[in-house]
Amino acid sequence: METTLRGVGVSHGVAIGEVRHMGTAVLEPPAKQITADEAEREQGRARQAVSAVAADLIARGQLAGGEAQHVLEAQAMIAEDPELMADVDRRIAVGSTAERGVYDAFASYRDLLAGAGEYMAGRVADLDDVRNRIVARLLGVPMPGVPDSDEPYVLIARDLAPADTALLDPALVLGFVTEEGGPTSHSAILARALGVPAIVALPGAGEIAEGTVIAVDGSTGDLFVEPSSAKKAELAAAAAERKAALAASSGPGATSDGHKVPLLANVGGPADVPAAVEAGAEGVGLFRTEFLFLDDSKKAPSEEKQVESYRKVLEAFPEGRVVVRVLDAGADKPLEFLTPADEPNPALGVRGLRSLLDHPDVLRTQLTALAKAAEGLPVYLEVMAPMVADRTDARAFADACREAGLKAKFGAMVEIPSAALRARSILQEVEFLSLGTNDLAQYAFAADRQVGAVSRLQDPWQPALLDLISMSAEAARAEGKSCGVCGEAAADPLLACVLTGLGVTSLSMGAASIPYVRATLAKYTLAQCERAAAAARAADSAEEARVAAQAVLSGE
């Protein structure tokens, strides 16, 4: 009998197929004691396993490329974290085996971060996956992972680690569903990059029996268990309609009555550029430069290395707009040379611009590198600061840009509610705003963006979040300046129409989402988008806002 479950849709498309579950294994090693004479040997085994796992993650990243490569390289850094390894050595020295020392050290680290409210605690899948890979290697057992199958299937898992998601074969894995995670988790981000329909934060999905036929709608978050023939036909027709609309859509982003809404791409470096160009991106709305810095957490990359990386991206968009976010370190992206190691809650501490202002040499080098990278190119370079809280922050960043001789527009990201509330004040110092809806939701609702249990508060359709976006856009319009969105909200085609109606002037997203947003925007007038936005803001919940906007755009 057909039943419907609902999670959070994070990657567009429809997948219909039989369920296959992610393999699981018990990877808790026995609490066996060793003698003092064996400690040195066990410590060596642990270090060897850690190095091998880190190398494997890096190799997987190089094979996957793009966004996945950055994610996996960051995960490799977790494996080789010096504090973790020091804890492993201590545990082995007092009698633990290598595998037990690794298991207990990771468990302690995990509990410590969760107890401190650490932003990184939400990335449970990442941390557990690294631990499991090291312990499995030491025990000599295979890692649990994606099931072997000769036939296409829909994958269900408690959560998916980046190393698994990055190398999914779209020819076999029609779509996936996770019980945990959130709309901005690594699994969600990589699913969008792969173009695989996906639903996250769907408790109980793991109870669906192996081999059951299900239908996954990654746009709505609906999962249909044993769908009827009529439901399959309905979903197939909707998918065909979307595909036809995508094929017919090309050119710059605009509403049906010609209101221009530039559609830009979010990139992490040169490897992400080809997909953005192929999707017809009109430029880059978010160039995440921190991935370049994550190659070595102990020191910043040289000015020469930065110039080389930045120029490759800038060259790909001649006469296009490229918005670069300066280093956003801290919280889930700690860097030894930049961020404090003992903060009780790094998400609310020294991160983003705050870190850079504490280390002006790092900021100066990056701004100088950007200036050199843009020399002689016809690109429209814009540079923005993350985690701007007020006018004082904005002024400090603008002053630093001018002192570095940067010939570009200076902007501020709106990720903290105070920045939205005082947007007009901030715009006295900078020339544009860019809304990071992921962090803005996190701070507005006190809801960690990686924790599935609070995912409803991370829904970008939340009316309170739409209010903050509207305030920012209205402030920019009053000052005659631009206000874009570069968070995951821009990747939702229906929400893109609402954002346009709120007065947002550009939308930036993962390359795979650009055709969907372009095709949807082209179906409606600006006035329709404005009415949909008003209806969404008048609602009392995210679901009501979505339904209200859809009703307006459907003419109901």
Q: CA 239, CA 154: separation in Å to the nearest integer?
A: 17
Structure tokens at 338: 């930049």
186 is known as an active-site residue:
yes
Which residues are CB-contacts of 358 (< 8 A; sequence separation ≥ 6)? 350
| 202, 6 Cβ separation under 8 angstroms | yes
Pairing of strands 222-225, 3-6: antiparallel
What Rg do the C-alpha atoms of the chain give, in angstroms? 24
* 461 alpha carbon, distance to own chain's centre: 17
Structure tokens at 432: 């544009």
| 12, 239 Cβ separation under 8 angstroms | no
423: enclosing H helix or E strand: helix 423-426
Q: CA 196, CA 101: separation in Å to the nearest integer?
A: 37
508 beta partners = 264
16: enclosing H helix or E strand: strand 14-21
Q: CA 355, CA 220: separation in Å to the nearest integer?
A: 38
Beta strands in 314-437 (DSSP E): 321-325, 380-385, 409-414, 432-435
Q: CA 122, CA 128: separation in Å to the nearest integer?
A: 11
Structure tokens at 133: 């890979």
Going by the DSSP 8-state scheme, the letter that residue 33 receives in this structure is B
Structure tokens at 340: 């404090």
Report the alpha-carbon angle 510-512-514, nearest 5.
80
- Catalytic residue selected from 483, 486, 497, 529: 486
- Catalytic residue selected from 186, 359, 497, 529: 186
The residue behind tokens 């007009």 is 424
> Which among 28, 30, 85 has a CA at the least distance from the CA of 53?
85
Cα dihedral 57→61→62→63 (10° resolution): 100
Structure tokens at 394: 């904005």
| 328, 351 Cβ separation under 8 angstroms | yes
- Stated length of the chain: 556
Q: CA 2, CA 228: separation in Å to the nearest integer?
A: 6
Q: Is the dihedral of CA 224, 227, 231, 236 positive or negative?
A: positive
For 412-465, give the DSSP string: EEE-SHHHHHTHHHHTTT-SEEEE-HHHHHHHHHT--TT-GGGGGGG-TT-HHH
Q: CA 529, CA 399: separation in Å to the nearest integer?
A: 38
Q: CA 315, CA 421: separation in Å to the nearest integer?
A: 36
Query: Which of helix, strand or coil describes residue 91?
Result: helix
12 is known as an active-site residue:
no
Active site residues: 186, 486
